[in-house]
């Protein structure tokens, strides 16, 4: 059995290998994705994250030549409830890796924005900003509730760069308290200047930044609808290049739906020529929420995967797509992880979309409604449609996310198979794919 990529190391450590037991009937696991590539048979385990070259029998017993596949959980006892098994593994991993307190703080300095993106899910929200009192209390809250040696601050909005003074002060508060910290940011990038890049490097300790751009120039101008447009298409690319030069990792997010997908080739070519320094940048395509939840989602996903395959060798590195997990997924998103979102008025939420029904406290009083948080983030109920699904480990049992993909299974199969085939090609004959390179 040739191994294409190794199982998740944490699961290997936590789970004893399945011992083949005489007399037990073994069948292919619910989590075994079986596929053919260049005339050879492969199997990928969506929970263990191992990929092997092997043809799984429909039925097997111990000692019949399939013991390695049984140990790797590609073949499991025919009466195993795989959903229950997955949930017990998930609970074990969460218990093993989780501590109480907040690991990361997503902070919205303002809900105001200098753009009016045609698709923005925040449309209609009041453009409130943090008051000086809220900023001071936010600093206090972070000092009191953070866990770990280093505080992780994520700047979000609205447009966070409309309020660099808020970011300055919170970072200063961390230094005054003697706390180690670093930050990340999600921005439209239009307000980045040389002075902001200096602050990013020295004061904000910014490691990574995501900049949203939505297609080639005409489409960009049409979609982002800046209140006062000033050649941002080019100035954002120059800013990306400068940040990359300064060692800040930049991820360009390109939001797509059926209306702009066909123009993305031109956009990629503009990025190739417009970004001088490509040391620390990458670009990825993200389906807009409405497109993900619409009827045409699958044909759009196919175009996205084709684009990705066609431009593998692009000078702009293409980032990974949704559905590809490098290791066992401990949480669905920040809402069932250990992070907290702080809104401009100091309210606490489990998710950056700030659904009003999920507000569970504020920076003055901490968590005042733990049951609201627990209910929103509960992971113990697996939706009926997911119980028998092969991709359950990629989605996790958390089902409160407001974004639902219409063809969730098909898109995950599409994206996984594309990445797995690519990985097999790169692994070459008789080799195991390099861990650092593995997509799964
Ligand atoms: C609300 S914005 C705030 C940060 C910043 N103003 C920006 O645009 O990057 C946060 C992220 O949500 C994304 N976003 C906004 N509306 C969306 C939608 N309808 N579907 C998918 N993503 C969306 C944006 O592209 C951005 O990456
Ligand atoms: S730049 Fe961000 S916050 Fe502003 S309108 Fe666009 S998506 Fe919304
Ligand atoms: S959301 Fe869809 S892909 Fe994910 S586990 Fe449920 S059925 Fe499967």
Report yes or no on 6 lying in a domain: yes
Q: Which domain holds residue 282?
A: 97-371
Report yes or no on 215 lying in a domain: yes
Report yes or no on 103 lying in a domain: yes
Same domain for 106 and 75 = no
* Atom number in ligand 3 closest to CA 409: 3
Least confident interval from 11-25, 319-333, 388-402: 319-333
Mutate to test the pocket of ligand 3, among 389, 397, 402 (most ligand atoms within 8 A of CB): 389
pLDDT of residue 157: 93
Same domain for 320 and 173 = yes
Total-model pTM: 0.90
Pair 428, 37: CB distance under 8 Å: no
Same domain for 130 and 37 = no
Residue 121 CA, ligand 1 centroid: distance in Å:
7
Give the domain CATH number at 234: 3.20.20.70
Query: Which ligand lies nearest the alpha carbon of 224?
Result: 2
Mutate to test the pocket of ligand 1, among 186, 211, 214 (most ligand atoms within 8 A of CB): 186
Rounded to an integer, what distance in angstroms lies between the CA atom of residue 256 and that of residue 286? 6
The DSSP element (H or E) to which 339 belongs, if any, is strand 339-342
pLDDT digits (tens, 9 = 90+) for 257-280: 999 999 999 999 999 999 999 999
pLDDT at 196 over 90: yes
Least confident interval from 236-245, 269-278, 417-426: 417-426
In 3D space, the residue among 325, 295, 289, 264 whose CA is nearest the CA of residue 45 turns out to be: 325
Neighbours of 144 (CB within 10 A): 11
pLDDT digits (tens, 9 = 90+) for 378-414: 766 788 888 899 999 988 656 566 678 899 999 999 9
Q: What confidence tier does 331 reach under pLDDT thresholds 50, 70, 90? A: low
Report yes or no on 165 lying in a domain: yes
Same domain for 312 and 294 = yes
Pair 196, 219: CB distance under 8 Å: no
- The CB of 253 under 6 Å from ligand 1? The reply is yes
- The CB of 386 under 6 Å from ligand 3? The reply is yes
Highest mean pLDDT (candidates 12-16, 69-73, 351-355): 69-73
Same domain for 165 and 89 = no
- What does the buried/exposed string (b/e) look like for 182-208 if buried means 16 or more CB atoms within 10 Å of the residue's CB? ebbbbbbbbbbeeebbebbeeebbbeb
Mean pLDDT confidence for 282-287: 93
pLDDT digits (tens, 9 = 90+) for 106-161: 999 999 999 999 999 999 899 999 999 999 999 999 999 998 889 999 999 999 99
In 3D space, the residue among 337, 339, 371, 376 whose CA is nearest the CA of residue 356 turns out to be: 376
pLDDT of residue 394: 85
Same domain for 144 and 49 = no
Report yes or no on 137 lying in a domain: yes
Same domain for 31 and 10 = yes
Beta strands of 150-262 (E only): which ranges?
150-155, 180-187, 206-212, 249-256
Rounded to an integer, what distance in angstroms lies between the CA atom of residue 323 and that of residue 418? 11
Q: How many structural domains are present in the chain?
A: 2
Mutate to test the pocket of ligand 1, among 212, 227, 322, 404 (most ligand atoms within 8 A of CB): 212
Q: Residue whose CA is closest, atom 4 of ligand 3? A: 395
DSSP code of residue 385: G
Same domain for 45 and 24 = yes
Residue 288 CA, ligand 2 centroid: distance in Å:
13
The full 3-state SS of 44-85, as one line of letters, equals: EECCCCCEEECCCCCCECCCCCCHHHHHCCCEEECCCCHHHH
Report yes or no on 376 lying in a domain: no
């Amino acid at each position: 059995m040739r191994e294409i990529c190794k199982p998740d190391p944490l699961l290997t450590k936590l789970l004893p290998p399945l011992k083949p037991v005489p007399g037990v009937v073994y069948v292919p696991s619910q989590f075994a994705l079986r596929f053919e590539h260049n005339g050879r048979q492969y199997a990928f385990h969506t929970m263990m994250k191992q990929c092997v070259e092997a043809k799984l029998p429909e039925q097997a017993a111990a000692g019949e030549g399939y013991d390695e596949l049984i140990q790797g959980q590609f073949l499991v006892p025919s009466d195993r409830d795989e959903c229950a098994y997955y949930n017990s593994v998930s609970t074990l991993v969460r218990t093993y890796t989780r501590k109480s307190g907040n690991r990361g703080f997503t902070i919205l300095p303002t809900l105001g924005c200098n753009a009016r993106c045609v698709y923005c899910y925040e449309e209609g929200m009041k453009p409130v900003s943090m008051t000086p009192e809220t900023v001071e209390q936010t600093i206090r809250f972070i000092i009191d509730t953070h866990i770990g040696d280093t505080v992780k601050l994520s700047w979000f909005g609205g447009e966070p760069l409309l309020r660099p003074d808020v970011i300055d002060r919170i970072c200063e508060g961390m230094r005054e308290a003697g706390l180690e910290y670093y930050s990340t940011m999600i921005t439209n990038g239009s307000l980045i200047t040389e002075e902001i890049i200096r602050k990013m490097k020295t004061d904000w300790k910014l490691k990574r930044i995501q900049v949203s751009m939505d297609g080639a120039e005409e489409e960009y101008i049409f979609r982002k609808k800046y209140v006062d447009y000033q050649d941002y298409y080019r100035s954002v690319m120059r800013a990306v290049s400068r940040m990359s030069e300064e060692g800040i990792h930049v991820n360009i997010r390109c939001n797509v739906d059926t209306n702009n997908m066909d123009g993305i080739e031109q956009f990629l070519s503009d990025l190739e020529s417009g970004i001088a320094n490509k040391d620390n940048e990458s670009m990825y395509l993200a389906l807009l929420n409405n497109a993900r939840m619409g009827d045409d989602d699958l044909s759009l996903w196919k175009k996205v995967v084709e684009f990705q395959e066609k431009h593998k060798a692009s000078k702009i590195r293409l980032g990974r797509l949704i559905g590809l997990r490098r290791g066992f997924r401990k949480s669905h998103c920040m809402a069932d992880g250990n992070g907290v979102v702080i809104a401009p008025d100091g309210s606490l939420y489990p998710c950056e979309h700030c659904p009003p029904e999920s507000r569970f406290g504020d920076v003055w009083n901490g968590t005042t409604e733990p049951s609201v948080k627990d209910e929103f983030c509960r992971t113990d109920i697996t939706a009926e449609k997911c119980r028998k699904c092969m991709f359950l480990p990629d989605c996790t049992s958390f089902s409160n996310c407001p974004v639902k993909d219409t063809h969730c299974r098909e898109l995950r199969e599409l994206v996984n198979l594309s990445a797995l085939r690519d990985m097999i090609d790169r692994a070459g004959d008789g080799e195991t794919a390099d861990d650092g390179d593995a997509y799964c």
